[in-house]
Structure 1
């Protein structure tokens, strides 16, 4: 997303541009991680097992 779009989103949300950039960075990292889990059945099973016990 271009800088002007980030500024517009930040202004509309009432936060600073750096907060929007940080959120986008976290979103992309999470998206990439979930894509990896979707392709790895064993990893997904072990993650679900761990989440059940916490």
Structure 2
């Protein structure tokens, strides 16, 4: 496929970086829980379940 617009490559790189970060298993779960509202650290840890303190 021939790219006619060089800026598309830059756009794809930025989107790829975001998806790599958001696509992480724990990130999705944490963001999902925080979407319901603010939580204290230990509340969030209990709500996510199975995540270590270091990972969180």
Scaled by the length of structure 1, the TM-score of the pair is 0.42
Which structure has the higher relative contact order (CA within 8 Å, separation 6+)? 2
Scaled by the length of structure 2, the TM-score of the pair is 0.41
